[in-house]
Amino acid sequence: MTEWRVLFRNRDGEPIDIDTFALLLERDDYRRVEHDTIDGVEVSTVWLGVVHPGERIFETMVFGGALHGEQWRWSTEAEALMGHASVCHLVRENPMPPPRQPRPTYDWQWIARKRNGN
């Protein structure tokens, strides 16, 4: 007996076929759940549609800042919305550290001349 596994789900978590998945994936308004920009850092939550381990079909990612590249996955749209808000809070609490100042360059020959009294 062949065991079938659901590969695609809509935003309500209901199983869908590959054709429906492809149509929904083309729609930005359907795929995008939330998007915020906080001090130049983007937090994006989207519907993936493809079932990942744990029945997770939504993903939140951070682009820029101290948490750049971090991702979280969610099983329901309600979890994704709450998770998005939590990640936005994390981004606000973990600002990017100030850039390191470049080390000054020294004119070693000038320093040597000054030492020698020239």
Report the predicted TM-score, pTM, of the whole model to 2 decimal places.
0.77
Distance CA 67, CA 38 (A): 12
Residue 2 has pLDDT above 60, yes or no: no
Kindly state whether residue 11 falls inside one of the protein's structural domains. no
Kindly state whether residue 80 falls inside one of the protein's structural domains. yes
pLDDT in tens, 70-103: 999 999 999 999 999 999 999 999 877 666 666 6
Domain count, the chain: 1
Kindly state whether residue 1 falls inside one of the protein's structural domains. no
Kindly state whether residue 4 falls inside one of the protein's structural domains. no
Kindly state whether residue 26 falls inside one of the protein's structural domains. yes
Residue range(s) defining the domain that contains residue 52: 18-115
- Residue at 92: amino acid letter: R
Closest CA to 43 of 55, 30, 34: 34
Kindly state whether residue 9 falls inside one of the protein's structural domains. no
